[in-house]
């Protein structure tokens, strides 16, 4: 792997900064400062330091993205921009994919990883990973509808949803919804089953991950060591 890619994918800096830092002698590989950031290193065996600190190499990449409107949750799409288009090429590792789906007009927390095994475990229906959404609806949700929502609803295709949580705020036309499953357009269809309509949907939590308020729409960052540990625990590691 090229040294600049290594520094980007381990979250040290951007590619342009990597170039400058290597030239300035702030990066060492096995105790020697290379002159250029395009040298190849073996991340498994070489010891790299950045500004005097040992860089920890992780086999997998874990990214938190604040998804904006207008992007589809796919690795490629012939028509629309995908969430992967928001990740710069130097940070894109082989096999990177969005873990779960948000509709094109849904906003918020999206996990992007190249750890297929963990991703599939987190998405497996039997994992019951909780997802929390902020919603706004066209009409207020009555207490009676909230009870129906919470005990499980029958959708238009006959599917019976698992019990979900709805916490109403304001006049009842906004609040938080927690699901432990992820069927296609699930929240929109649940509100439709109550003769209502979602007008805003943003995911705030996915399992142990909480959307970082420092991320603007379209921005991303690598997960912290603690977030990765919690995520792996959720996946049964």
Binding site for ligand URA (CB under 6 A): 102-103, 106, 185-188, 201
Nearest Cα neighbor of 196 from 217, 183, 178, 177 is 177
Nearest Cα neighbor of 73 from 64, 62, 82 is 82
Handedness of CA 206, 62, 86, 24 (dihedral sign): positive
Beta carbon nearer to ligand URA, 61 or 106: 106
Beta pairing partners, 63 = 112, 222
Rounded to a whole number of angstroms, the minimum distance from the CB of residue 82 to ligand URA is 15
Rounded to a whole number of angstroms, the minimum distance from the CB of residue 147 to ligand URA is 20
Q: Which are the contacts of 223, defined by CB distance < 8 A and separation ≥ 6? A: 62, 63, 64, 209, 231
Rounded to a whole number of angstroms, the minimum distance from the CB of residue 19 to ligand URA is 38
Please state, in angstroms and rounded to a whole number, the distance separating the CA atoms of residues 18 and 10: 12
**Residues found in the chain:** 237
Beta carbon nearer to ligand URA, 141 or 201: 201
Active site residues: 103
Beta carbon nearer to ligand URA, 121 or 134: 134
Radius of gyration of the chain (CA): 21
Rounded to a whole number of angstroms, the minimum distance from the CB of residue 97 to ligand URA is 17
Beta pairing partners, 160 = 154
Beta carbon nearer to ligand URA, 2 or 101: 101
Cα dihedral 98, 90, 225, 99 in deg (nearest 10): 0
Report the alpha-carbon angle 187-190-193, nearest 5.
155
Rounded to a whole number of angstroms, the minimum distance from the CB of residue 155 to ligand URA is 11
């Amino acid at each position: 792997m090229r040294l600049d890619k290594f520094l980007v994918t381990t979250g040290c800096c951007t590619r342009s900064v990597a170039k400058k830092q290597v030239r300035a002698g702030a990066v060492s590989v096995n105790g020697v400062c290379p002159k250029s950031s395009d040298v190849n290193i073996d991340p498994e065996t070489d010891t790299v330091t950045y500004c005097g600190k040992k860089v920890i190499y992780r086999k997998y990449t874990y990214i938190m993205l604040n998804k904006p409107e207008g992007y589809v949750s796919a690795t490629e799409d012939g028509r629309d921009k995908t969430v992967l288009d928001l990740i710069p090429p130097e940070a894109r590792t082989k096999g990177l994919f969005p873990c779960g789906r948000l509709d094109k007009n849904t906003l918020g927390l999206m996990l992007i990883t190249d750890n297929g095994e963990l991703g599939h475990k987190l998405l497996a229906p039997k994992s019951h990973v909780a997802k929390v959404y902020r919603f706004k609806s066209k009409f207020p949700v009555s207490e009676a509808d909230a009870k129906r929502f919470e005990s499980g609803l029958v959708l238009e295709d006959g599917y019976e949803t698992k019990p979900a949580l709805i916490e109403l705020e304001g006049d009842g036309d906004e609040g938080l919804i927690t699901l432990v499953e992820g069927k296609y357009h699930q929240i929109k269809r649940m509100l439709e089953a109550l003769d209502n309509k979602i007008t805003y949907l943003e995911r705030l939590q996915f399992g142990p991950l909480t959307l970082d308020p420092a991320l603007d729409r379209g921005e991303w960052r690598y997960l912290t060591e603690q977030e990765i540990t919690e995520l792996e625990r959720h996946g049964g590691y």
